[in-house]
Amino acid sequence: MRLKGKKVLVTGAGGFVGSHLVEALLKFDCQVKAFVHYNSRNDWGWLEDLNKNDLKNIQVITGDLRDSDAVRKSVKGQDLIFHLGALIGIPYSYVNPADVVETNVKGTLNLLLAGLDSHIEKIIHTSTSEVYGTAQYIPIDEAHPINPQSPYAASKASADYLAQSFNLSYDLPVAIIRPFNIYGPRQSARSIIPNIIIQALSGNVIKIGSPDPTRDFTFVSDAVEGFIRLAECDEGVGQVTNLGFGNEISMDGLVKLISKKLRKKLEIKKMKERKRPEKSEVERLVCNSTKAKRLFGWNPKIEIDEGIEKTIDWFKKHLNKYKAQVYNI
C-alpha cells in the first residue's frame, strides 16, 4: 500500500503516539480523520499541540470506541485505519478493570466490525509488549508465549486475538504491531520516563514502585516510522510484528540516567502504593525486532541517551501542563 493521498482514520489520535502519528501522516498528503474521546471541554488532547496549519488539514471526530454507531460513522469511506485508541494505564486497570475491558476489547470489536462493513483496505491494530508478561527468554520475539499479568495486558491480548480472528475468519486485512515501551514528548505522566522527569524537574526525591524491573524503550519518532512502514508493507497483514530497540534499562537505571542529564542528585523513594501486585509485576521486557527489519526495513535510530535528552528538553518547556505532585494512575 502506498500511503500518499490515502484516507486514513487514526483512533486515539489525541494521545501521545497518536498525535505524533497524525503529524507524520500529513507529510504523506493523507486525508486524516482523527478520532478522539469526547469530553465536554471539546479538548482534542495533544492534537492541540500541533501547529494551526496542520490542524486545518485534520478532520477531528469526537466519540467513544464503545459506541458502535460512532465508530461505524468514523470508519465509513476510509482506506486505512491506525487503531491506537485504548485505555492504557496499568494501575488504572487494577482499579477499574471493567472500564479497560469495555474500551479495549469491545472498542476493538466495534472497529473490526465497522472495517468489515466498509471494506477497509488495511487496519493496523496496536498491541503492547505487556501481553508477553515477564520474559521467559531474551530477547522476546513474536513466538514468545502470551502471558498477560494485569487486567490491562489481558484486555490488549484479548483485542489482539479478536483482530487475528477477523483476519482468519473474514479475511479482514489486519496487521498487528506490538510496540515495546515508547517514550518522548507529550507522553502521559502515568508512564515511567515522564513520571521520573517531572518529579526530577520539581524536586530531588523520585517516588517509584520497584527499581528493579527492566524495559526496552523506543523513541516516539522511531516508533511512528515503524507504524507507517508496516502500513506500507502488505506482507505484514495477518501477522504480529514487534517494535522495540533491543536494549534494556532498569527503573533505577532510568533515574540515574535522568540524574546525569539534569546534573542533579536524585534520591529514590520506594512507594508501596506505586508498586504492582507481586505476581502482576512484569520483571523484564527486551525486544527482538528482527521481523520488523526483515519485513519493512525498520531500524530505530535514536539511542536512549539522546532520546532522554530530547524528552527532558520538551518537558522543561511544558511542565505547567502536568501535576508534578499527583500520582497518575
pLDDT in tens, the chain (329 residues): 999 999 999 999 999 999 999 999 999 999 999 999 999 999 999 999 999 999 999 999 999 999 999 999 999 999 999 999 999 999 999 999 999 999 999 999 999 999 999 999 999 999 999 999 999 999 999 999 999 999 999 999 999 999 999 999 999 999 999 999 999 999 999 999 999 999 999 999 999 999 999 999 999 999 999 999 999 999 999 999 999 999 999 999 999 999 999 999 999 999 998 999 999 999 999 999 999 999 999 999 999 999 999 999 999 999 998 987 788 78
Amino acid identity at 199 = Q
Q: Within a domain: residue 279?
A: no
End-to-end Cα spacing for the chain:
38
Query: Omega of the bond prior to 211 within 30 degrees of 0, cis?
Result: no
CATH label of the domain that carries residue 101? 3.40.50.720
Q: Within a domain: residue 1?
A: no
Range of the domain at 223: 7-183+218-246+285-302
What integer pLDDT is reported at residue 329 of this predicted model? 81
Q: Within a domain: residue 238?
A: yes
Residue 203 Cα to chain centre, angstroms: 28
What integer pLDDT is reported at residue 10 of this predicted model? 98
Q: Within a domain: residue 291?
A: yes
The alpha-carbon radius of gyration of the chain (Å, integer) is 19
| Angle formed at CA 221 by CA 129 and CA 193, multiple of 5 degrees | 60
Domain count of the chain? 1
**Residue pair 173/235 in contact by the 8 Å Cβ criterion:** no
What integer pLDDT is reported at residue 201 of this predicted model? 96
The 10 Å Cβ neighbour count of residue 144 is 18
Q: Within a domain: residue 320?
A: no
Q: Within a domain: residue 252?
A: no
Q: Within a domain: residue 123?
A: yes
Q: Within a domain: residue 208?
A: no
- Could you tell me how many helices (H) and strands (E) the chain has, helices first? 12, 13
What integer pLDDT is reported at residue 328 of this predicted model? 79
What integer pLDDT is reported at residue 249 of this predicted model? 98
What integer pLDDT is reported at residue 323 of this predicted model? 84
Q: 104: buried, middle or exposed (CB in 10 Å: 19+, 13-18, 0-12)?
A: buried
| DSSP class per residue in 262-325 | HT---EEEE-GGGSPPGGG---B--B--HHHHHHH-------HHHHHHHHHHHHHHHGGGS-TT
Amino acid identity at 14 = G
